[in-house]
Every structure is written in C-alpha cells, then in structure tokens.
Amino acid sequence: MSLFAWIEFIDTSTLLLFLVVFLCGLWLLSPPGSPVNWPPGPKSWPLIGNADLFWNNDQIHLTFTKLAKKYGQIVHLRIGPRGHVILLTGQDVIREAFVNQGESFGNRLSFHPFVKYTSKGRGILSGHGKNWKILKRFTLRTLKDFGVGKSSLEEKIKEELDFFAAEIHSKGGEPFDLKMLIENAVSNIMCSMVFGERYDYDDEEFAHLLHGVTFTLDKAGFNSTPMTWIPGAVAMACSPTMRKVVDIDRDIKEFVRKKTAEHRETFDEQNIRDFIDIYIKAEKDGEENGALTYENLFQLIVDLFLAGTETTSTALLWAFLYMICHPDIQTRCREEIAEVIGQDRRPCMKDKGTLPYVEAAILEMHRLASIAAGAITHVTSEPVTLRGFHLPKETLVIPNLYESHMDPACWTDPFAFNPDRWLDENNKLKKTTPAAFMPFSVGYRKCMGETLAKMEMFLFVTTLLQRFDFRMVDVDNPPSYTDAVLGMTRCPLKYKMIATRI
C-alpha cells in the first residue's frame, strides 16, 4: 500500500516527489526556535511529523485515548513542518479550554483545502469571528421563532414520522437497512423547516444530495487533518476525493440556489413560510447592519444540512441497533410507553418527563455511541495558555469527547449499554447529568441544534417503539454494537433488521 493510500488524494509518484520537495522547503523556511512550550507528545518523523497516526485510521479516537494514557490530558502532535494539533482528554480540561477560554479556542479550520474550496470560511460550521457571531445569533433566534421546542415543529416531525412508519411497514417484515430511510426522514424535517417542503423517499435528486452529504462528512473527518497544511491548489490538482467533495458542494449549492430563487419570486412578507423567508425578510429589513447577505444565507443552509442530518440520523441508527441487540431493554421501553401513553394516541413532547426509562435509554445511547467523538476541530484564535502550556494562534484543538463517555473513573462498566445508570432508586431520572457527559460538546462552539436533535430523538424513538417490534435478522449472528467507523461522526457498521407492526 502506498504511503498516501490513507487519504486517496494522491495520484502519482511525481506528486509524491513534489510533496517531499514542498515539505522540505517549508521545513527550511520554518522560523527557528519557537516561543511556545508544547505539551508532551509522541516522537515525530522529520517532514511529516505525526501525520502517520492519521493514515488509514478510522479509529483515531482510540489512538487519541492511548496517547492520553501515555502523555497526559494535553497531548501535542506535529503535522508536517508547521502544523500543530493539541488533543484534550477529560471533561475538566475540555471545559477549561472551551468554556473558560471559549473565544480564544473558538476558531475553525478555515485554512483546510476542503473549506477553502467549499464554504470559504463563511457560514456557521467553518466560520468564525464577527460574521459567525451574527449568523449564530440569527440561527438560534430563528430556530426558536420557527418552532424548535414548540408545537409547530412537533407537528412537522410527527407528519414525517407517519411517512417513515409507512415506509417501514411496507418492508412487510423482511430484513432492511434503516440508514437511507432514516437519513431521508431526518433531512425532510430540516427541509420542511428551511424550504417548507419534504421529498419522497424515492426522489432521485434528493437521494443524490444525501449521498453527497454522507460522502463529504466521511471524507472530511479526522483522518483528513494532515491535509490542512497542503495548499488548496495542490490538493485540487492531485486528489480525486477533494474534487468530488467540491463537486458535491456545487450540487448542494445548485439545489439551494434553485430553492432560494423560487422563494424570492414568491416572497410575501405577510406569509412567512420557512427559514429562507425569515432570512429574506431580515435581509430586506437590513438587520444586523446588512451583514445577512445572500452568500451568507446560502452557506447557512448548506451548514444546517451538514450539521443537522447526518448527526441525528446516525444517533438514531445507533439507538435502534442497541434496541435490537438488547430486546429486554426494548421491551421495557415499550412497556413504559404502553403504560403511560397507550396505543390510542401518538407520543408528543408533553410526554417527555413521564417516560424516565425511555429517556434514560436515549441518554445512554448518546453516551455509548458518542457520535461526535472528537466534536469538530477547534482552532486557537490567538496565543493562549492552558495549564501552563503556551499555544500559538492557529493551533488545532481536538477534544476527545469519546474518552469522557468511556472513562471508567466516571462510568461503571462503561462499555455496557445500561439505561439504569441514569435512574435513581425510585426509577426516576437523576436530577443532574455527570459533567463527563458532553454529546453536544460544551462552551462557545457547542452544538446549535441540541434542542432540535433532542426533540427528534424523543419523538422518533417513542413513536417507532410504540408502533413496531424491532428484531435482529439472525440471532446467531448478531450485528456488532461495539465496532464503529469514525469519519466526521462515529457510525455503526452496516446492519439490517426486521420490523413487525404491533
């Protein structure tokens, strides 16, 4: 296997030579004697630093945990002659950085080639600084106004659940893979909020976009970190993956462009239909001193799709995998739903608080699945000091959220799926959650969609368990619920299941 097979980006040996020459050049030009004192870390190779740790490694969170055991809570990795990555392990140090010094640790990777050629640092996922603050304010306010946490959005989620349940029913008890169905359903909720419409599960154009989103999130995951210091033009010229990500970005933008153009033509200030209308109105009203531009709207919508579909659908995939691997827990959830809600009415958000065991199972899913195992890479916005280490501006910072969820010092028998750990002696949900529990990250850049994600998780899990019994296809050959692949999110391996209508 070639040296660069890990990243699928390099076509030819000529390029390899070019890169070596390029890295040598950078190395020679690097300023001597840096004024920072780096935390400890593994020995690094000349030129490539510790980039080898990322090669072909879809379990990088486990590598990070091993490094923390050896070098401590703050580990330093070198990438190439100039790049520096800091790994943070443990909720205390993660909070010290992201909560206590949130803004200093709050930039994103605007210099990664993927970002340079797609969002260009606009939007909320890869943006930072003044523009990001404006978009964050607008997004949180609009999500709230538009119904996140309110009954209007709840109705949309329930409508989608009816389509979703009908699709599962149509499998007629035959084995099926939930992945695409669930991605469709979750994206449709976002589509209803943003565009005011949903798409059929067999809509080819939409399926193409969803595949694109999955591909991008897979390839833009942690093992693409060493690419950060490869010049964008070199990556574009040499990497088929990079070119595909750019093509996908173009297709998604074309789709969004079509939708926003239609909205502009039919815009009626008296009848605000969705997120795009709210944005158009804000733009017309000159809100935020004109900072809400068309380009910003564009990237914002793309970002909401990237951040809000794959995450929730992956979390749901894990939830149903745990349910089929633990039929006893599934039955206990269903019994609680039957006792509190019955079969004659559908679950609603008002039921939250009355189904402690189901809620405990969802919390346990978030912990054990740790879908955002390393959150999204942060970047220091200025020189900072953390526990005596002085880190320069533009240091990459990755929090190992996975380790916090698996730390035996915080969780008894951490690899077991055990909803009971969230309940008190009266089988009520414990009043506080442990500080080590951070599925949505913490501080300045924490998830903006947490409330929406929690609504979706609760309504999907309760509604589907009320209507279906889920089983594994072959009890003698159960799917693994410990193995996973980490791209941007930590995904379960492909599995099928059987659903029977209750």
**Binding site, residues?**
447
Between the CA atoms of 109, 111, 114 and 119, what dihedral angle is there, to the nearest 10 degrees? 80
Q: Which is nearer to ligand HEM, 467 or 490 (CB)?
A: 490
Beta carbon of residue 242, minimum distance to ligand HEM (angstroms, whole number): 22
- Which sign does the torsion angle of CA 430, 431, 437, 438 carry? positive
Across 374-439, where does the E strand assignment appear? 378-379, 384-386, 389-391, 396-399
Beta carbon of residue 194, minimum distance to ligand HEM (angstroms, whole number): 10
Adjacent-strand bridge partners of 277 = none
| Rounded distance between C-alpha atoms, residue 194 and residue 235, angstroms | 33
Helix (H) or strand (E) holding 498: strand 497-501
Question: Tokens at residue 351, please?
Answer: 């039921």
Are 10 and 230 in contact by the 8 Å Cβ rule? The answer is no
Q: Which is nearer to ligand HEM, 239 or 370 (CB)?
A: 370
| Rounded distance between C-alpha atoms, residue 177 and residue 48, angstroms | 40
Adjacent-strand bridge partners of 378 = 397
Question: Tokens at residue 288, please?
Answer: 């935020």
Q: Which is nearer to ligand HEM, 144 or 501 (CB)?
A: 144
Q: Which is nearer to ligand HEM, 239 or 312 (CB)?
A: 312
Beta carbon of residue 313, minimum distance to ligand HEM (angstroms, whole number): 9
Three-point CA angle 159, 163, 164, nearest 5°:
110
Q: Which is nearer to ligand HEM, 210 or 315 (CB)?
A: 315
DSSP letter at 449? -
| Rounded distance between C-alpha atoms, residue 156 and residue 382, angstroms | 43
Q: Which is nearer to ligand HEM, 18 or 111 (CB)?
A: 111
Q: Which is nearer to ligand HEM, 219 or 405 (CB)?
A: 405
> Which residues form the interface with ligand HEM (CB under 6 A)?
124-125, 303-304, 307-308, 311-312, 315, 371-372, 375-376, 378, 439-441, 445-449, 452-453
Q: Look at residues 394, 367, 118 and name the one whose alpha carbon lies nearest to residue 256.
A: 118
Beta carbon of residue 441, minimum distance to ligand HEM (angstroms, whole number): 3
- φ/ψ of residue 75, rounded to 5: -115, 140
Radius of gyration of the chain from its Cα atoms, rounded to whole angstroms? 23
Beta carbon of residue 48, minimum distance to ligand HEM (angstroms, whole number): 26
Q: Which residues are annotated as a binding site for heme?
A: 447
Beta carbon of residue 152, minimum distance to ligand HEM (angstroms, whole number): 16
Q: Which residue is nearest to ligand HEM (CB)?
A: 449
Beta carbon of residue 276, minimum distance to ligand HEM (angstroms, whole number): 15
